[in-house]
Amino acid sequence: MARTWAMSCYQRRAVPSWLGLLGCGLIVAALALPARAQLPFAVPPPAGVLVAPLLLLLPLAHEWTRSDRERARELERRHDWRGLESLADRRLAVAPGDARWLALRGRARLFLGRWDGAAADLQASFETTDDRPAAQRFDVGLGWALAEALRPGGGNVAPILDVLEALVPGRPEPGPLRQSLSGAAAVMPSQRGLALPVGMHAMRLDAADWQSTPVGDPPALQGGPTFQLVRTQLVRLRAASAEARQDGVLRGRLWMAAPTARAWGVSVWDVDDPCRHAAPGAVLVESVAISIQQPDCLSVRAVAAGAPVPGWTDGWVPDEAGWLFAYERYGMDGAVQARLWLPQARVPGAMLAALWGRAWAAGLRPWGDATGPATAALPPLRP
């Protein structure tokens, strides 16, 4: 009878399903206990009747009590910049103008390649007077200078750097940034008119500069489910390549590959080290892999003029110094491989190159867990 009554209680769904199951389970346990009047002493309920519901509620209680600052730190650790931006949006809706959350949202937009929004947030945070230490305000101001240097039609960052040098004397960052930007042309917005097919995805490029070039497909990858000891499932990749030329001069070269369809059930990948393109000369090597079976790596390294560029099998040698941006991610049901060479004049300075590479990787990272076709775009570049 207790089971029949509980099922009737759950089927009516007067409350949310999880709460209904919990409540009905307690009722069944209570009805199953012997009546106190039948025994000369009181019978306490079994420990599981009380402990099990508490264990079910522990994750919810942790979520309710964890502070937003802890969530922000976790999102930063995972490089979930979209999640950090959304969290900051919610906090700023409650407390508009909060300098710390403006700084966090600006940082997220900086790594997403949204230079305009990042510059506005970081400037507002930097110019807000509060009790933050000078070193924290310096970091916010440096981010503002970087965003201002990268955004389309960006302003003169020299006054910002002057303020930073006076705020914390001896910090080395303003000097290299000032030197890398001296005499450089303004950043131009990308028209993003060419949709380059990459497997089941697409990469948006500036149609005025970039043109697709023929390329062969790379070898298939091997992977399988987490609990499968022998990984024999093949995941076929479709490659794409493009070149950017201006007045006949090479201004960029891109190679990418991704699966032609969703790799159902593949969560463990048998692949080479995704950071193999990093050394030597790397200015940034960054991995945000969730597990060793799902590697993820972004590397940015300088390539000298006249030296072969790693990752290209045709023996191509550039005529000028450049940056090699290499990114690979192997996630749940998806993967992406990408290599991009750009002249150093288009992304001047190691700091800007590292920041630009992070924004590029942030747009590609969702491809590793995509359930369907997705589109990414190059962050804005100098001519």
Note the pLDDT of residue 86. 93
Report the run of H or E that residue 196 belongs to, with start and end.
Answer: strand 194-198
Residue that finishes a domain, picked among 158, 181, 204: 181
pTM score above 0.75: no
What is the domain count for the chain? 3
Residue that finishes a domain, picked among 65, 97, 117: 65
Is residue 170 a part of any domain in this protein?
yes
Same domain, residue pair 318 and 209: yes
Is residue 187 a part of any domain in this protein?
no
Same domain, residue pair 239 and 354: yes
User: What's the alpha-carbon Rg for the chain, to the nearest Å?
Assistant: 27
Answer yes or no: are the C-beta atoms of 63 and 73 closer than 8 Å: no
Separation of alpha carbons 134 and 122, rounded Å: 15
Same domain, residue pair 85 and 204: no
Separation of alpha carbons 296 and 278, rounded Å: 13
Structure tokens at 42: 């009181």
Separation of alpha carbons 105 and 126, rounded Å: 13
User: Hey, is 53 helix, strand or coil?
Assistant: helix
Cα–Cα–Cα angle for 204, 206, 208, rounded to 5 degrees: 150
Structure tokens at 316: 């191509």
Answer yes or no: are the C-beta atoms of 291 and 267 closer than 8 Å: no
Is residue 383 a part of any domain in this protein?
no
Answer yes or no: are the C-beta atoms of 192 and 205 closer than 8 Å: yes
Same domain, residue pair 80 and 34: no
pLDDT in tens, 2-20: 444 444 444 444 444 444 5
How many C-beta neighbours within 10 Å does residue 3 have? 11
Residue that finishes a domain, picked among 155, 181, 207: 181
Separation of alpha carbons 24 and 18, rounded Å: 10
Same domain, residue pair 175 and 208: no
CATH number of 174's domain: 1.25.40.10
Answer yes or no: are the C-beta atoms of 262 and 370 closer than 8 Å: yes
Sort strands 282-286 and 221-224 into parallel, antiparallel or unpaired: unpaired
How many C-beta neighbours within 10 Å does residue 123 have? 20
pLDDT in tens, 181-229: 765 544 444 445 678 999 999 998 876 678 889 888 888 887 777 655 4
Same domain, residue pair 141 and 259: no
Same domain, residue pair 255 and 364: yes
Separation of alpha carbons 145 and 275, rounded Å: 29
Is residue 305 a part of any domain in this protein?
yes
Count how many Cα atoms sit within 13 Å of the Cα of residue 43 in the half-sphere of its side chain: 14
pLDDT in tens, 170-182: 888 888 788 777 6
pLDDT in tens, 230-266: 556 788 899 999 999 888 889 899 999 999 888 887 8
Same domain, residue pair 211 and 297: yes
Ranges of H-type helices in the chain: 2-12, 17-32, 47-65, 68-77, 81-94, 99-111, 115-126, 134-150, 158-167, 174-181, 350-364
The domain of 57 spans: 2-65
Same domain, residue pair 114 and 31: no
Confidence of residue 40 (pLDDT cuts 50, 70, 90): very low
Same domain, residue pair 177 and 242: no
Structure tokens at 272: 């080479």
Is residue 186 a part of any domain in this protein?
no
How many C-beta neighbours within 10 Å does residue 45 have? 12
Mean pLDDT of the chain: 77
Length of the chain: 383
Is residue 189 a part of any domain in this protein?
no
